[in-house]
Structure 1
């Protein structure tokens, strides 16, 4: 039996069992489509995770002081000494708390972050309008604020927030910048956050203890050295936990 005869017989079988042939073809089509869909979803999730990791930066080190000991504190001046470590590009402290933000008759509850001018680059924040914090804002404890896109929408609607005064726990702060919408990520969303100079945040939150520090290295190759140096300094400052327990 040659190939031509085999094809003729197969065609006759298909014509004789049209419903069965249709169902077989449909099963194959659905199976292939399902595989394509799953692969597409997998690639989409992978890209989203990669994008979020990219936002964090391959050369960004996060130091978190989770000690419950009230004596284990980090001041702003102590944190900024990390800039002297070889391979460090920038240091951004984070002092945070929850505040009640109000403008006119509108109000919202938001996370306020006290930090410095280097925070914007370290956390890959982009401005929609206005400016971010400046060194002079931190130096003089200026009452200025940079707000996320959601905060701007909640308090100002379609109005322009730049130059307007909002109140954080009753204290007046001038809005100098609005961030571009960033969406949710593993590190939370900046859209519903308010950023003020850390020197001003210390007074507003009545707290001087910096619990989170972002250290950005000059390149990915510097990360290991900087991490080892930070671990050594942390061990000197806080001591060995085992020794403290003894």
Structure 2
């Protein structure tokens, strides 16, 4: 018999009892839909992680000073000299005041204050909404000027342009010279949207912030960041006379670690979902054994009129493959539908449908039908015509 005829016969058989067929396919449907959904969630999450890191750039190095006292203080001018080295592109030291009391007119709120230089905007990939950013002159002359994050500007000024207005920060008057566009949170959950940026030297003088705690360093390329990291490690170890008192955070390493963790978790979940496919295969084999038993006389009649063993084998093997294949198609449809609809019900969860994994999941479901249908088909093909015809 031709393959087309075998498939047509199998479809006619499986549709004759739709409820039993659907229950048989259930394990395969759950398995395939779970694989497709979990992989799409995993890849969507990986892309979101990558986007958040790329907002700062993967060629970014963050130096955090954890020690206290003069032995762990960093000098601004010394840090800026590193820009002359080829593995360094841009450097932005910062001083932070966590809860600065900000007043404008009758409004009073607390916001984060960041003292930094003119490089900070480029490193943070921040875009101006109005006015200008801090300049080198503002830093040198310790000008009392401020750039507002989008949330700060909206809270204090609504939808008005605050450029040129004066605000009071912990009793010191600063003139607003610009506002930033909304950027959202980065991978650590922090955001410059709710921050006020002022020149570093003005922050040091007006608020007695002490020492530089965090320095952002951007390398020319992704490869240079590792050279810059090693250079800074040697410098800090020499300056602090110890390899303690500081932490170096390489964004590229964090990205790789985050992606690896997400991929590992996704693979583990997919492995669990594949168990459903194996369970579905066992269900198919069980039903096919029942089918062989129910159709023993039919097998006997076909063999008595000349059907060969290979014909019987292929008939039942194609039937089990069709059942698993239909289950795979339904599971594929369900998985894709869930992946497409999930972001609408949970906007924070991104998904990305993987066509290659979807194809592999479907082919695996077909393979399950072949493997688990082989034993029942072989058993049917080995029946002796005389025994099959006498079966009651």
TM-score (norm 1): 0.86
Residue in 1 aligned with 2:158?
157
Q: Map residues 82-93 of structure 1 onto 2, 5 A cutoff.
A: 82-93=82-93
Partner Cα separation in structure 1 for residue 45 and residue 11 of structure 2: 43
Corresponding residue SS for 1:88: coil
Residue in 2 aligned with 1:102?
103
1:101-158 CA-to-partner distances (Å, cap 9, x unmatched) read 1211222211111000011111211112221111111011111111111111111122
Gaps of 5+ in 2: 245-392
| Greater Cα radius of gyration, structure 1 or 2 | 2
Corresponding residue SS for 2:164: coil
- Report the count of equivalent residues: 241
Residue 128 of structure 2 corresponds to residue 119 of structure 1: no
> What is the Cα deviation at residue 23 of structure 1?
4.5
> After the TM superposition, which of the residue ranges 179-188 and 28-37 deviates more from structure 2?
28-37
Q: Map residues 160-199 of structure 1 onto 2, 5 A cutoff.
A: 160-187=161-188, 188-199=190-201
Question: Does the 8 Å CA contact 1:183/1:191 hold for their aligned counterparts?
Answer: yes
Q: Quick one: structure 1 residues 9 and 67, their matched pair in 2 at CA, closer, same or farther if it must change by over 3 Å?
A: closer
Residue 37 of structure 2 corresponds to residue 37 of structure 1: yes
Q: Quick one: structure 1 residues 36 and 140, their matched pair in 2 at CA, closer, same or farther if it must change by over 3 Å?
A: same
Q: Quick one: structure 1 residues 7 and 185, their matched pair in 2 at CA, closer, same or farther if it must change by over 3 Å?
A: same
Gaps of 5+ in 1: none
Q: Quick one: structure 1 residues 18 and 104, their matched pair in 2 at CA, closer, same or farther if it must change by over 3 Å?
A: same
> What is the Cα deviation at residue 65 of structure 1?
1.1
1:159-195 CA-to-partner distances (Å, cap 9, x unmatched) read 2222222111121111111111111112421111111
Question: Does the 8 Å CA contact 2:236/2:243 hold for their aligned counterparts?
Answer: no
The structure with more helix, counted as a fraction of residues = 2
Which of the pair has the greater relative contact order for Cα pairs under 8 Å at 6+ separation?
2
Residue in 2 aligned with 1:69?
69
Partner Cα separation in structure 2 for residue 81 and residue 183 of structure 1: 31
RMSD over aligned CA atoms reads 2.4
Residue 226 of structure 2 corresponds to residue 224 of structure 1: yes
Partner Cα separation in structure 2 for residue 28 and residue 79 of structure 1: 60
TM-score (norm 2): 0.56
